Amino acid sequence: MFEALQDGLTSAFKTLRGKGKLSEANMRDGLKLVEKSLLEADVSFPVVRQFMADVTEQAVGEKVLKSLDPSQQVVGLIYQELVNMMGPVDNSLHLLGKDQVTVLMMCGLQGSGKTTTCGKLGRMLKESGRKPLMVAADLQRPAAIDQLHVIGEQLGIEVFSDRGQKDPVTVCNEALKQAKKLGADVVILDTAGRLHVDDELMGQLQRIDRQCNPHQAYLVVDGMTGQDAVNSAKAFNEALELDGVILTKMDGDARGGAAISVKHVTGVPIKFIGTGEHLDALEEFHADRMAGRILGQ
Amino acid sequence: SEGRLIDDQFLDEMRAILFKTDMGYDSIEKIVDEVATKMRGRVVTLEEVVATWKAKLTELMAQENSPIKFAESGPTVIMVCGVNGAGKTTSIAKLAHLLKSQGKTIVLGAGDTFRAAAVEQLTIWSKRLGVNLVTGEQGAHPASVAYRAVEECISTGADVCIVDTAGRLQTQKNLMAELTKIQQSIRKLIPEAPHEVLLVLDATTGQNGISQASNFTEAVDCTGIILAKLDGTAKGGVVVAIKQQVGLPVKYVGVGEQPEDWALFNPVDFVDALFAEIGATSTASA
Ligand SMILES: Nc1nc2c(ncn2[C@@H]2O[C@H](COP(=O)(O)OP(=O)(O)OP(=O)(O)O)[C@@H](O)[C@H]2O)c(=O)[nH]1
Ligand SMILES: Nc1nc2c(ncn2[C@@H]2O[C@H](COP(=O)(O)OP(=O)(O)OP(=O)(O)O)[C@@H](O)[C@H]2O)c(=O)[nH]1
Ligand SMILES: [K+]
Ligand SMILES: [Mg+2]
Ligand SMILES: [Mg+2]
């Protein structure tokens, strides 16, 4: 794992071998490489700064272990600290019993992958013996309702929509009213993409949240997001009190530092990662794998 | 504000400002090194230093006044590509809206035959904008849709054909090869087409934008970038690294979800926005 970084560190720490203790001075070049790696992975700058300070503090004064290459010793510490930062991991959807209706709400910026992720979760729930109902609450993007219907048909999952309706809050309320009748035990709300600085649309999302009281509100975040991840995640969390995050488009070569940024500002667990356009491309989030990826596996 | 000594702390504050823009490690360390070697020990204001970066970046990001290269005769073909959800289809609607307002007749090609309701999405736009659309049958190869769209453009004597493509990650070899095929099929009708290959980049994208730009350019010779979703809080600074490392210029920016939410890329505005927090005055005087 993260061989490039490890190689760089091995040469940065060459002179350290057999020396007594780690100090800020003798680790400087090595730590600079770690910092570079995190920044190139798009971890938020203030978070990187804090992280480097914490890790340095922990490392300083530690004995250089005879049994290990000092670079391995430092990398081990950093890796473990990254894993800790992304934990505790909780992949559960916290579903109620089948006799009740659990409501899940997807929200996020435009194009992050909400509608596709609704389908992926619906598929997963159906496979586990649940009866999901997907709700087309995006009345904004052209053909958003059609998109959810196509996905529903592909999966054999019921989709609730009301093409005449202008207010998504009404659509969601109506869907919840009918959920039981339609035999559903989980309702997944597909909301429109919106910017966290769009007060009107954020207000609309809060109205859905207040009236439908979703048991779980998930922020769907594009895994390729850069430094802005902290801004949007913070705003969505303040508006909704998120319960989890889903990181999409992780099938490419993005290092995914947004995972740390988002976790840092919201404190909520990252539940899943999206790993493809197909509706089975959803995996549970693993902090250890993610840490490896961020360090440049 | 008050002048300050350029020391390590000053350089560190500079980094904090620069990294927030997504300009990327190499571009930023280059700027910081330059300040460190040329100006260390001098007393300056942060605004003065920022003004010098702004001047340089504005020059780097400069572009021609009319970013679309139109065919000398016959139709102009514009192919639009990019990763999933970047804003391709919406940007096509915006570009069509602009070109139509300039009196051009347009044919859109619904080359995304993969994503759920992608064709319906472009169909709605074509109706709203009152422009012609060519779609493929279910499961049609995107290259054949692109071919037919260009054919339609030629036969109806329309001015511009804009071809939409499905979103794809730049690491997906098969899908990148498919994109090359689309381009080749367009060339069967017009050898020098597509005249523009525009890569749509989401302004919130971080360092992955560099690999997007280089891989798409390798597959289809991109001619420029459309920087979409610049209406949020992200500044799209990765285009600076892309310009330096891949050489692709930004041509247009998207600033909303409506057809009119679109502007010519303006380097001065862009650079001002990158450092808006500093509140330094315009680069014009720098
Ligand atoms: N490669 C890849 N593509 C994905 C993934 N998740 C979603 N996509 C694609 O990303 C694009 C946008 O997905 P949507 O589900 O429409 O996104 P959205 O958030 O609902 O978009 P809006 O409703 O417009 O805000 C589509 O092309 C999807 O196929 C993923 O995990 N990997
Ligand atoms: N705020 C904002 N939203 C935008 C902008 N451009 C596009 N969008 C939104 O982003 C989402 C995705 O846009 P699309 O045009 O469908 O993106 P795409 O690249 O065609 O997506 P795929 O075909 O699925 O890969 C939609 O909700 C658009 O309305 C923009 O400039 N600003
Ligand atoms: K933005
Ligand atoms: Mg959607
Ligand atoms: Mg599209």
**Residue B271 confidence (pLDDT) above 80:** yes
Q: Which amino acid is at B194?
A: P
Q: What is the spatial distance between Cα B108 and Cα B91, in angstroms, rounded to a whole number?
A: 12
For residue A152, report the distance from its CA to the centre of ligand 4, in Å: 13
Q: What is the spatial distance between Cα A231 and Cα A219, in angstroms, rounded to a whole number?
A: 13
Closest-CA residue of B relative to A196 is: B232
Q: What is the pLDDT of residue A173?
A: 97
Q: What is the spatial distance between Cα B193 and Cα B187, in angstroms, rounded to a whole number?
A: 6
Mean pLDDT score of chain B, rounded to an integer? 93
Q: Which residue has the higher pLDDT, B201 or B140?
A: B201
Q: What is the pLDDT of residue B280?
A: 43
Mean pLDDT on B235-247: 97
Mutation target for A interface from B20, B126, B208, B238: give the one with most A CBs within 10 A: B208
* Selection from B273, B199, B281 nearest residue B231 by Cα: B273
Q: What is the pLDDT of residue A23?
A: 87
DSSP string covering A125-143: HHHTT--EEEEEE--SSTT
Query: What is the tens place of the pLDDT at every residue in B112-163?
Result: 999 999 999 999 999 999 999 999 976 789 999 999 999 999 999 999 999 9
Q: What is the pLDDT of residue A7?
A: 83
Q: What is the spatial distance between Cα A285 and Cα B279, in angstroms, rounded to a whole number?
A: 40
The strand pair at B196-202 and B76-81 is best described as parallel
Q: If you average pLDDT over each of A28-32, B38-42, B50-54, B200-204, which comes out highest?
A: B200-204
Q: What is the pLDDT of residue A181?
A: 94
**Residue B51 confidence (pLDDT) above 80:** yes
- Subunit contact B207:A110, Cβ cutoff 8 A: no
**8 A C-beta contact, residue B170 and residue B176:** yes
Q: Which helix (H) or strand (E) holds A254?
A: none
Q: Which helix (H) or strand (E) holds B225?
A: strand B224-228
Q: Which amino acid is at A167?
A: D
Q: What is the pLDDT of residue A164?
A: 94
Q: Which amino acid is at A201?
A: L
Query: What is the tens place of the pLDDT at every residue in A107-141?
Result: 999 999 999 999 999 999 999 999 999 999 999 99
ipTM metric: 0.96
Q: What is the pLDDT of residue B285?
A: 36
Q: What is the spatial distance between Cα A152 and Cα A118, in angstroms, rounded to a whole number?
A: 10
Residue B163: phi, psi to the nearest 5? -105, 120
**Residue B264 confidence (pLDDT) above 70:** yes
Structure tokens belonging to residue B157:
């004597």
CA-based angle A245:A250:A256, to the nearest 5?
70
Q: Which residues, listed in sequence order, are joined to residue B201 by a DSSP beta bridge?
A: B227
Residue B262: phi, psi to the nearest 5? -155, 140
Q: What is the pLDDT of residue B279?
A: 55
Q: Which helix (H) or strand (E) holds B224?
A: strand B224-228
Q: What is the spatial distance between Cα B83 and Cα A191, in angstroms, rounded to a whole number?
A: 22
**Residue B1 confidence (pLDDT) above 70:** no
Q: Which residue has the higher pLDDT, B66 or A50?
A: A50
- Subunit contact A277:B24, Cβ cutoff 8 A: no
Nearest CA, atom 7, ligand 2: B87
- Subunit contact A226:B171, Cβ cutoff 8 A: no
For A64, other C-beta atoms within 10 Å of its C-beta total 18
Q: How far is CA A8 from CA A13, A154, A292, B199, in A?
A: 9, 48, 16, 34
Q: Which of A144, A148, A228 is closest, CB to CB, to B232? A: A228
For residue A23, report the distance from its CA to the centre of ligand 5, in Å: 52
Sign of CA dihedral B59, B65, B68, B72: negative
Q: What is the mean pLDDT of each run of 10 residues along chain A (297 residues)?
A: 78 77 88 94 96 93 81 89 95 97 98 98 98 98 98 98 97 97 97 98 98 97 98 98 98 97 98 98 97 89
**8 A C-beta contact, residue B148 and residue B109:** yes
Structure tokens belonging to residue B250:
């930004």
Q: Which residue has the higher pLDDT, A108 or B10?
A: A108
Q: What is the pLDDT of residue A134?
A: 98
Tokens 């949020």 — which residue? B232
Interface residues on B facing A, Cβ-Cβ cutoff 8 A: 15-16, 19-22, 24-25, 83-87, 114-118, 120-121, 123-125, 128, 167, 169-172, 202, 204-209, 211, 229, 231-234, 238, 257
